[in-house]
Structures are given as structure tokens and as C-alpha cells.
Amino acid sequence: MHEVQLQLPDQLYDRAQRRAVEAGFKSVSDYIRGIVTDDLAVDSENLDHLFTPERLALIDKAADEVRAGQFFTAEEADAELARRRAEWRQSRPA
């Protein structure tokens, strides 16, 4: 296995770190490895490489939340988005 060292500006690293956490990766290195792996996947018809243990854990967690009734209906989501849109517009007067 080859080791590659990358240098990222602080702001880019911070963004990558947030994305890594959101996607369930243990580190920025794992996140970047996942991005490169996805990009270089030869067989685009076989999507197994996308189902990493981290992503499967997120899917399982979401399924558990849905089974427990912790979800928005389409109408609730529309209402929440409308509320947030109105707040955003109020905070940025034209």
C-alpha cells in the first residue's frame, strides 16, 4: 500500500472534517480515501463499494428512527422548509 501525504488549507480541512463526521467516517483520511475510491471505481454498475461500514451504520440508524416514528411527513417537511425560508428572508432584508 502506498501512503500519500496531502496538505490542505485550514478552511478546506475544516470543511472536509465536517463532511467526514456527517458521513460517518472516522477521519478526514478515511473520507478522502472514500472519495478517491468512489471516483476510481472501475465497475460503475456494481455499487457495493459505496456501502462502507460507516454508510451502512447511517442507513441502519435512519431505518431505526423511521421505525420509531422519528421522521417528517412530506407536509411537515414542507412546513418546516417554509418556516426556515421565512426566517432566512427576514434576517436578510432586501
CB atoms within 10 A of CB 21: 13
Place of cell 435512519: 62
In a domain, 3, yes or no: no
Range of the domain at 40: 10-91
In a domain, 83, yes or no: yes
Q: Check: CB of residue 24 under 8 Å from CB of residue 58.
A: yes
Domain count within the chain: 1
Amino acid of residue 68: A
SS3 41: coil
**What is the distance between the alpha carbons of residues 16 and 22, in angstroms, rounded to a whole number?**
10
Cell of 57: 451504520
Using one digit for the tens of pLDDT, what is the confidence trace for 3-62? 889 899 999 999 999 999 998 899 999 999 988 888 887 666 777 878 889 999 999 999
* Residue-level pLDDT at 67: 94
In a domain, 1, yes or no: no
DSSP summary character for residue 45: T
